[in-house]
Amino acid sequence: MKQPEPTASANEPVNPVAAYLRMDRIPHIWCPGCGLGTVVNCLVRALMTCAIPRNDISIVSGIGCTGRVAGYLALDSFHTTHGRAIPFATGLKLANPKLKLVVVSGDGDLFAIGGNHFIHAARRNMDMTVLCVNNFTYGMTGGQVTPTTPLDAIASTTPYGNFEDPFNLPHLAESSGAVYVARWTTLHVRQAVKSIRDAIRKKGFSFVEILSPCPTLYGRRNRLGDGLEMMRQFKEKSVVRNGADTREAGLDFKGGILCGTFIDRERPTFLDRYNETMAERLGHAFTPYGGVL
Ligand code: SF4
């Protein structure tokens, strides 16, 4: 979708990412101190350096506070049903293999309702980037426990503390077959931009987790302070170790945060294997929907 380039009067600064935003929908709905605006900024800056034609990029999100991201981006973007962003993106990819798919969604949407889709897309090495904004809670629906809420953390559905072991997302992504896996926080904006860019350029299933403050529903309940204070905690607790073993990337309620690019490897994608088989059997490479490649 083409947007007019931003213009400014002499005294009015130009938002450097405005060309990628649907400015008619700004201001956004997110709370003061929420990390989602920072993630959008990182994603747009990564897209700006990717040199991929804008018509070849599609953004897909699920439901929740993060699900709103698709609606703010001036790209072909899709706000899908809860947990179904990855199968929706899979359909787009199979119908038009030239598209670069970026799924942006939250920890609840991607790993509870959509957890099944995540592991199978990674197993198939479906060519797409999944960007998970992990704020350890369901923000939009009232602060319920999610598959990443740390043990002992308070949620609206675990008022005495969470007693379920959370997922270690980088390890889940690696174990399921992702070819690129990284984790940063909203404090690590330069590293996040680079990782998102590398993930988008990577052929295959790439995964970037960004830890992000939700001061309204997670921080307040757990006495972690406002958004700025939660960013201070990211600074104090983060340890960057590129190439670290993802088994060490589990998160405690108040423990350290292992960040870095953990996995960067090669595997044939779903379409590579599909087309190899079709070429052997039929003499042509086809998309699953019949177009000759
Ligand atoms: Fe952000 Fe939490 Fe507010 Fe949602 S509820 S906009 S995640 S701070």
Work out how many domains the chain is built from and give that number: 1
**pLDDT digit string, tens, across residues 98-108:** 999 999 999 99
Euclidean distance between CA atoms 72 and 24, whole angstroms: 9
**pLDDT digit string, tens, across residues 65-100:** 999 999 999 999 999 999 999 999 999 999 999 999
For atom 1 of ligand 1, the residue with the nearest CA is 34
110 is a domain residue: yes
Q: Specify the pLDDT at position 183.
A: 98
In this structure, the residues whose C-beta lies within 6 A of any atom of ligand 1 are 30-31, 34, 36, 65, 135, 139-140, 214-217
Cis peptide preceding 170, ω within 30 of 0: no
Atom of ligand 1 nearest to the CA of 65: 4
- Helix, strand and coil percent figures for the chain, each rounded to 5: 40, 20, 45
Nearest to 169, CA basis, from 144, 147, 191: 147
75 is a domain residue: yes
Residues belonging to the chain: 293
- Asked if pLDDT for residue 1 goes beyond 60, the answer is no
Question: How many angstroms separate the alpha carbon of residue 225 from the centre of ligand 1?
Answer: 14
* Average pLDDT of span 45-61: 94
Residue 264 belongs to domain with CATH number: 3.40.50.970
User: What confidence category does residue 283 fall into, taking pLDDT thresholds of 50, 70 and 90?
Assistant: confident
- Asked if pLDDT for residue 285 goes beyond 80, the answer is no
Q: Specify the pLDDT at position 51.
A: 85
232 is a domain residue: yes
- Asked if pLDDT for residue 159 goes beyond 70, the answer is yes
- Asked if pLDDT for residue 278 goes beyond 60, the answer is yes
**pLDDT digit string, tens, across residues 110-132:** 999 999 999 999 999 999 999 99
Q: Specify the pLDDT at position 68.
A: 95
Mutate to test the pocket of ligand 1, among 39, 214, 222, 228 (most ligand atoms within 8 A of CB): 214
User: What confidence category does residue 281 fall into, taking pLDDT thresholds of 50, 70 and 90?
Assistant: confident
Task: Supply 65's token pair.
Answer: 């506070």
Q: Specify the pLDDT at position 291.
A: 56
Q: Specify the pLDDT at position 23.
A: 93
Q: Specify the pLDDT at position 7.
A: 56
Evaluate whether 47 touches 200 at the Cβ level (below 8 Å): yes
For atom 5 of ligand 1, the residue with the nearest CA is 139
Nearest to 58, CA basis, from 100, 110, 118, 3: 100
**pLDDT digit string, tens, across residues 243-274:** 999 999 999 988 899 999 999 999 999 999 98
Evaluate whether 107 touches 172 at the Cβ level (below 8 Å): no
Atom of ligand 1 nearest to the CA of 35: 1
Q: Which domain holds residue 213?
A: 27-285
Question: How many angstroms separate the alpha carbon of residue 138 from the centre of ligand 1?
Answer: 9
The DSSP string of 187-207 is T-HHHHHHHHHHHHHSSSEEE
Q: Specify the pLDDT at position 67.
A: 95
83 is a domain residue: yes
125 is a domain residue: yes
Question: What percent of the chain has pLDDT above 70?
Answer: 93
Atom of ligand 1 nearest to the CA of 30: 6
**pLDDT digit string, tens, across residues 180-198:** 999 999 999 999 999 999 9
228 is a domain residue: yes
Please, which residues bridge with residue 132 across strands? 105, 209
**pLDDT digit string, tens, across residues 219-229:** 999 999 999 99
- Asked if pLDDT for residue 134 goes beyond 90, the answer is yes
- Asked if pLDDT for residue 17 goes beyond 90, the answer is yes
46 is a domain residue: yes
Q: Specify the pLDDT at position 275.
A: 87
5 is a domain residue: no
Question: How many angstroms separate the alpha carbon of residue 39 from the centre of ligand 1?
Answer: 13
For atom 4 of ligand 1, the residue with the nearest CA is 139
Nearest to 90, CA basis, from 123, 65, 66, 112: 123
